[in-house]
């Protein structure tokens, strides 16, 4: 009788559930499994670090709506994914981690890399399990994939001991579990829709906030129709950018602090009132603001502050029904009202301040000059990946997105090191689903250091990614080259070098020499424009543009601290 091993049962189960991409690092006991995955017609991408592999898998999950998978070895291999698992769980992105583990007959007696992996992974997942037999592998794979996608998306972990992977069973003992099931659509309570319409239509200073959940739900058509039909002002959270174009005249991102503080009614679309939105509380928000909250997750409703109207629903039907009701009222917010005049004035004032800093191209460059000229040189509708401190925060305001799911950054968990993994996922997504679209990975020099060797992964798979490193020689701030050299020569440098200081003007561009290519060392605006234009012509691998800026460059003065402080 024909038989089959656990490796092939697992590979075929993943394929049946629609998993297309697996990222990982092989070793005992998953070497044969990686080959079985490729034999099952699944894309396997070998990475250089398990964390970066997990970042890439969750990004492909966000972009496609179907989880990417991560393949890692036992013990340390799995432990290295926990930063990625936590990031996916908190970011609400679907990902499935598959870990090899010690053979079951070695447990408790000091097996190689023995580790209580299922329980260790559980806090970072929606589902963590070990199939008890080869015949039950398809059942657990189906459940894990389904759980990552249904409700609030997130992470799952499946554990596979060496003896389960290598074991063999009769082929006819493997049940024919069903393929991927449709994700249930949650429709809003009609009474809540009526309440939302009544509250929104009575507002004198309304504001729409578009979150990452709106982007993930593919609700861009409905939300664009809402904004255009009602003339409501909106702003987006970092990865909600592009659901409605940043360049829309209805976008008031340039007046973000003012809009949040003065709005009397806020329609919150798939965004959480966490630190990114200052918890929805004074002084960042009006004490009397009425919030209409739409979220797929019931547990998120009324979190941090009590919503005036709380709607559990998928985004598409909820927004469509609210718009339908507003149209029946012939509702349109008048552009001549004082609220629009105040917002437009504040936007214009802030734009002038940014334009002044952007026009300052004295050397060394500042962030605003770099981002202004970088954006002007970028190919249309590229996917922008970004991470860093000021690099990411200032970049959000100056690198515009006119398409949804075209910005990937550190997200809700504020995780550094995600950039190269996200960029790899984005480039693979473009290769398979949107050919000719470019990926631009904008990194602070500190952030790049976490996962920089994934450049080799990009080169190996010929992924055309342009990495722009905004290099201020430090974390937050660096140090002038002459001062840095004096400190290095002064004695015990570990006691006198500022903790946030990195090597002055490090030549990250020279990393391209490893692959027989030339990177770009940029100090001026003309050099930056030339480098971006030339990089756009490279279609068979990555390139690095290393942009040197002032070590003391900073963001424009803020009305509030960037993070709302605790009052305790």
Distance CA 545, CA 324 (A): 48
Contact 454, 387 (CB under 8 A): no
**Torsions phi, psi of 501, nearest 5?**
-85, 135
Gap between the Cα atoms of 186 and 127, Å rounded: 22
User: How does pLDDT run across 331-358, given as a tens digit for each residue?
Assistant: 999 999 999 999 999 999 999 999 999 9
How far is 350 from 562, CA to CA, in rounded Å?
Answer: 16
Cβ-proximal residues to 268 (8 Å cutoff; 6+ apart), any chain: 209, 211, 291, 292, 293, 294, 295, 307
Burial tier of 12 (Cβ tally within 10 Å: 0-12, 13-18, 19+): buried
DSSP 84-120: HHHHHHHHT--EEEEEEE--GGGTTTT-TT---HHHH
Predicted local distance difference test score (pLDDT) of residue 488:
86
Answer whether 0.95 is exceeded by the pTM. yes
Alpha-carbon gap, residue 97 to 147, rounded angstroms? 13
CA dist 445 and 468 (Å) reads: 9
Q: What is the model's pLDDT at position 314?
A: 98
Element (H, E) at 234: strand 234-236
Radius of gyration, alpha carbons of the chain: 25
pLDDT at 505: 96
Residue 556 DSSP class? P
Q: Give the residue-averaged pLDDT of 503-531.
A: 97
CB 501 within 8 A of CB 526: no
Distance of alpha carbon 38 from alpha carbon 36, whole angstroms = 5
Please report how the helices 137-149 and 6-16 are oriented relative to each other, as an axis angle in degrees rounded to 10: 30
At 555, the pLDDT band (50, 70, 90 cuts) reads confident
Q: Residue 556's pLDDT band (boundaries 50, 70, 90)?
A: confident
Cβ atoms 141, 17 nearer than 8 A: yes
Q: Would you give the DSSP letter of residue 490?
A: S
Percent of the chain with pLDDT over 90: 92
Contacts of 49 (CB under 8 A, 6+ apart): 25, 80, 451, 453, 454
DSSP code per residue over 166-209: H-EEEGGGS-----PPPPPPPPPPHHHHHHHHHHHHT-SSEEEE
Q: Are strands 265-269 and 309-312 parallel, antiparallel or unpaired?
A: unpaired
- Averaged pLDDT, 88-109: 96
Q: What's the confidence (pLDDT) of residue 469?
A: 98
CB 408 within 8 A of CB 464: no
Number of separate helices (H) and strands (E) present in the chain = 22, 19
**Is pLDDT at 375 greater than 70 in this prediction?**
yes
The region, left, alpha or beta by phi > 0 then psi within -120 to 50, assigned to residue 178 is beta
What is the rounded average pLDDT of the residues 210-234?
98
CA 332 to CA 196: how far, in whole Å? 15
Residues 6+ apart with CB under 8 A from 82: 120, 121, 124
* Residue 64, pLDDT score: 98
Band of residue 559 on the pLDDT scale cut at 50, 70, 90: low
Q: 143 by DSSP, 3-state: which?
A: helix
Report the SS3 class of residue 442: strand
Tally of CB atoms within 10 A around 283:
13
Q: Look at residues 238, 202, 176, 163 and name the one whose alpha carbon lies nearest to residue 6.
A: 163
Cα–chain center distance at 256: 21
51-65, 181-195, 435-449, 472-486 — which is least confidently predicted? 472-486
Residue 566's pLDDT band (cuts 50, 70, 90): low
Give pLDDT, residue 493. 87
Chain-wide mean pLDDT for the chain?
A: 96
Predicted local distance difference test score (pLDDT) of residue 491: 77
- β-sheet bridge partners, residue 545: 468, 520
* Interval 464-476 mean pLDDT: 97
Report the distance separating Cα 54 and Cα 189, nearest Å.
37
Residue 439 has pLDDT above 70, yes or no: yes
From the list 400, 346, 351, 404, the residue with the least C-alpha distance to 371 is 400
Kindly compute the dihedral angle of the four CA atoms of residues 97, 101, 104, 110, in this order, to the nearest 10 degrees: -140
Most distant CA atoms of the chain, gap in Å: 80
CA distances, 206 to each of 235, 277, 282, 340, 552 (Å): 11, 16, 17, 10, 38
How far apart, in whole angstroms, are the C-alpha atoms of residue 424 and residue 22? 12
Q: Give 27's pLDDT tier (boundaries 50, 70, 90).
A: very high
The predicted pLDDT at position 567 comes to: 61
**What is the rounded CA–CA span in Å between residue 5 and residue 7?**
6
CA 326 to chain centre: 33
Give residue-wise pLDDT tens across range 105-152. Answer: 999 999 899 999 999 999 999 999 999 999 999 999 999 999 999 999
Instruction: Over range 530-549, report the average pLDDT.
Output: 98
Nearest to 173 by CA among 137, 142, 143: 137
Nearest alpha carbon to residue 333 among 207, 236, 196: 207
User: How much is the pLDDT for 568?
Assistant: 59
**Confidence label for 437 from pLDDT (cuts 50, 70 and 90):** very high
- pLDDT reported for residue 427: 98
Distance CA(509)–CA(511), nearest Å, equals: 5
Q: CA–CA separation, 280 vs 271, rounded Å? A: 11
């Amino acid at each position: 009788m024909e038989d089959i091993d656990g490796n092939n049962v697992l590979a075929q189960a993943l394929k049946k559930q629609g998993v297309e991409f697996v990222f990982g690092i092989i070793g005992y006991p998953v070497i044969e499994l990686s080959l079985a995955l490729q034999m099952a017609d699944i894309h396997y991408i070998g990475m250089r670090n398990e964390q970066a592999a997990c970042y890439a898998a969750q990004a492909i999950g966000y972009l496609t709506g179907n989880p990417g998978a991560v393949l890692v070895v036992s013990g340390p291999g799995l432990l290295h994914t926990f930063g990625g698992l936590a990031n996916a769980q908190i970011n609400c992105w679907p990902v499935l981690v598959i870990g090899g583990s010690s053979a079951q007959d070695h447990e408790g007696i000091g097996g190689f890399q023995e580790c209580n992996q299922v329980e260790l992974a559980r806090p970072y997942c929606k589902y963590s399990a070990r199939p008890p037999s080869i015949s039950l592998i398809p059942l657990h794979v189906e459940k894990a994939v389904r759980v990552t996608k249904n409700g609030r998306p997130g992470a799952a972990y499946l554990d596979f001991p060496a003896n389960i992977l290598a074991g063999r069973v009769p082929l006819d003992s493997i049940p024919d579990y069903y393929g991927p099931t449709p994700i249930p659509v949650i429709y809003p309570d009609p009474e809540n829709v009526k309440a939302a319409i009544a509250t929104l239509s009575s507002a004198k200073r309304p504001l729409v906030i578009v979150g990452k959940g709106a982007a993930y739900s593919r609700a861009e058509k409905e939300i664009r129709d809402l904004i255009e039909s009602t003339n409501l002002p909106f702003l987006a959270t970092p990865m909600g950018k592009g659901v409605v174009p940043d360049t829309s005249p209805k976008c008031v991102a340039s007046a973000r602090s003012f809009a949040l503080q003065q709005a009397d009614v806020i329609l919150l679309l798939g965004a959480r009132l966490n630190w990114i939105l200052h918890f929805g509380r004074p002084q960042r928000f009006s004490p009397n603001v009425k919030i209409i909250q739409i979220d797929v997750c019931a547990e998120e409703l009324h979190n941090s502050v009590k919503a005036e109207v709380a709607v559990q629903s998928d985004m598409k039907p909820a927004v469509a029904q609210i718009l339908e009701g507003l149209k029946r009222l012939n509702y349109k917010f008048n552009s001549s009202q004082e609220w629009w005049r105040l917002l437009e004035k504040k936007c214009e004032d802030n734009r002038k301040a940014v334009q002044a800093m952007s026009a300052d191209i004295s050397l060394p460059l500042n962030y605003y000059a770099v981002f202004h000229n970088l954006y002007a040189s970028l190919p249309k509708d590229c996917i922008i990946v970004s991470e860093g401190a000021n690099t990411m925060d200032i970049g959000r305001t100056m690198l515009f997105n006119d398409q949804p799911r075209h910005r990937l950054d550190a997200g809700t968990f504020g995780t550094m090191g995600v950039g190269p993994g996200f960029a790899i996922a984005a480039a693979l997504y473009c290769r398979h689903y949107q050919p000719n679209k470019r990926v631009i990975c904008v990194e602070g020099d500190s952030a790049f250091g976490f996962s920089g060797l994934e450049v080799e992964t990009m080169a190996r798979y010929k992924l055309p990614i342009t990495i722009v490193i905004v290099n201020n020689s430090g974390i937050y701030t660096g140090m002038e080259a002459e001062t840095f050299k004096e400190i290095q020569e002064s004695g015990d440098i570990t006691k006198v070098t500022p903790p946030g200081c990195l090597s002055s003007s490090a030549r990250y561009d020279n990393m391209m020499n490893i692959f027989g290519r030339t990177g770009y060392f940029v100090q001026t605006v003309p050099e930056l424009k030339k480098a971006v234009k030339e990089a756009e012509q490279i279609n068979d691998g990555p390139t690095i543009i290393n942009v040197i800026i002032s070590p003391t460059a900073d963001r424009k003065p803020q009305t509030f601290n960037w993070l709302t402080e605790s009052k305790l």
